[in-house]
Amino acid sequence: MKAISINQQVNKWIGTEGLGILKFDGNQWTTYNTTNGLINNYVNTIANDKKGNIWIGTFDGVSEFKN
pLDDT of residue 2: 60
What local confidence, expressed as pLDDT, does residue 3 receive? 67
At 4-59, the pLDDT tens digits run 565 556 788 889 999 999 989 889 999 999 998 899 999 999 998 888 888 999 99
Nearest in space to 55 (alpha carbons), one of 24, 25, 30, 32: 32
- Beta-sheet pairing, 43-48 with 3-6: unpaired
Q: Report the pLDDT value the prediction gives residue 67, as an integer from 0 to 100.
A: 65
Alpha-carbon span 2 to 65, nearest angstrom:
18
Q: Which 3 state secondary structure label does DSSP give 35?
A: helix
Integer Cα distance of 44 and 58 in angstroms: 5
pTM, whole model, 2 decimals?
0.77
pLDDT, position 5: 61
Domain that holds residue 26: 3-65
As for how many domains the chain has, the answer is 1
d(CA 6, CA 9): 8
